[in-house]
Amino acid sequence: MRKFTILTALSLLALTACGHGGHNALPSSAGGTMPDTYLHQKMAAEQQRVPSTFVAPKHPGYIAETPSTQVWASGITQAGEAPVPGGMFDITNQYNTTMNGRHVTVYAGSLKTTGAGILLVVTRSADLHTVNAQTYTVASGPVRIQSAADGQLQLQTLGAAHQNVPFRLPM
C-alpha cells in the first residue's frame, strides 16, 4: 500500500510537471468546460473524404521539367502580400525584376516591432527551386520604392520629411 502511494505520488508529480503554470490572469473557468460532444463530432467531420469507387494504379517517377516559360513580373507595384507574417512587417510596395537569370522581388515597408524601414529581398532561381531571402534595415521609419533601374533602387521615407535613400541590390 505504501509502495503504491509513493509510486502514485511520484507519477502525479511528474504529470504535474507537464503543466505550464505561467498564467495568472486566465479567463475564469467558473462556468466549467463545455461538453466535448461538439469537438468529437466536428473532428469526425474533418475526416470527410470522397467516396473511393476504385483504386488507381501507381506509376512512380518524376516528370522531367521543361524550362519555365513563366513571364516574371517587372516594375513597381503598390500592393501585394509578402510571404511573411502580417504581424512582422507592414509592406508599402514592391519591385520585381530579373537579374543575372534570377527572379528578384523586393518588398519595402517597415518592421512592426520597431517601425524601422526595411527591405525584404527575395531572390529565386529561374526554376523557382532555390530561394534566398534577406532583410535590410535602411531607415528609421517606413520606406517605399520610388524608382528602380539597373539594380539601383531609390527609396523614399514616409515620414514628414521625405528623404531619398539609395540602395543597390546585392547581386
Partner 1 sequence: MQRAFLALAAAGAIAASAQACAQAAPAATTSRYMATVNRTTLYNEGCSMGSAALSGVVVLDFGEPYTSNGTQGTYDYGSAFVSDSSIINAAEGFLDGFWNCSPASPQLRLVIGTSNYGSQVSNAAGSAWGSAVNSLNNYISSKGYGSQEFARGGIDAEPGWDTEFSRTSSWVDGYNAATSYPLYDYGSADACPYSGYSGNCDGWGQHGLWYISWGNHDGYPLPEIYQWSMADQWYYESVYSSTSESNGRLGFLGTMTQYAACGCGSSTYSPSQGFNTLQNLLNGDSRTSYTMSYSTDITWAN
Q: In what order do the strands lie in the sheet with 164-168?
A: 143-149, 152-157, 164-168
Shortest CB 163 distance to partner 1, Å: 27
Query: Which residues between 75 and 104 bind partner 1 (CB under 8 A)?
Result: 77, 79-81, 83-87, 94, 96, 103
Q: Cβ contacts of residue 68 below 8 Å, gap of 6+?
A: 126, 127, 128
Q: How much helix, strand and coil, in percent to the nearest 5, is found in the chain?
A: 15, 35, 50
Q: Which stretch binds partner 1 (CB under 8 A): 49-57, 137-145, 148-156, 157-165?
A: 49-57
- Residue closer to partner 1 (CB basis): 77 or 164: 77
Q: Which helix (H) or strand (E) holds 138?
A: strand 131-139
The size of the interface with partner 1 (CB under 8 A), counted in residues, is 76
- Residue closer to partner 1 (CB basis): 52 or 100: 52
Alpha-carbon separation of residue 64 from 61, 67, 68, 94 (angstroms): 10, 10, 12, 33
Shortest CB 162 distance to partner 1, Å: 25
Q: Which stretch binds partner 1 (CB under 8 A): 36-44, 141-149, 150-158, 160-168?
A: 36-44
